[in-house]
Amino acid sequence: MWVYLNVEERTYYFFQSSAWDGLKIDDLPLGWFYWALAASFYLHFHLSLSRGESRKRVFLRGVLLRSAIYCTAGLCYNHINNTSPKGQDFQHKFPPINDLRIFGILQRVGLAQLVTSAVEVCVMSRTIKRGPLLQDLKESWLQWLVCVVLVTLHTSITYLLPFPYCPTGYTGPGGLHDNGTKVNCTGGVAQYIDHTIVGRDWLLPRRALEQAHPVYHIARKFDPDGLLGTLTTCFLMALAMQASRIFILFHR
CA distance 66 to 174: 36
Domain extents in the chain: 1-8+31-126+133-250
Closest CA to 20 of 200, 234, 235, 187: 187
pLDDT at residue 215 greater than cutoff 70? no
Residue 13 host element (H or E): none
Task: Tell me how far apart the alpha carbons of residues 215 and 200 are, in angstroms, rounded to a whole number.
Answer: 22
Q: Is the pLDDT of residue 106 over 70?
A: yes
pLDDT category at 88 given cuts 50, 70, 90 is very low
Q: Answer yes or no: is pLDDT of 32 > 80.
A: yes
Residues 72, 212: Cα–Cα separation, whole Å: 25
Nearest CA to 44 among 240, 193, 195, 181? 240
- Average pLDDT value for residue range 120-127: 88
Residue type for position 70 = Y
Q: Which amino acid is at 132?
A: P
> Which amino acid is located at 172 in the chain?
G
Strand, coil or helix: 163: strand
Environment class of 171 (CB within 10 Å of its CB; exposed 0-12, middle 13-18, buried 19+): middle
Region 182-196: mean pLDDT is: 90
What mean pLDDT is predicted for residues 18-24? 75
The Cα–Cα gap between 210 and 111 comes to 27
Q: Could you tell me if 48 and 58 are in contact, meaning their C-beta atoms sit under 8 angstroms apart?
A: yes
- pTM of the entire structure? 0.84
**Residue 144, pLDDT score:** 93
Q: Is pLDDT above 90 for 98?
A: no
Distance CA 250, CA 202 (A): 46
DSSP 217: -
What pLDDT is stored for residue 84 in this prediction? 43
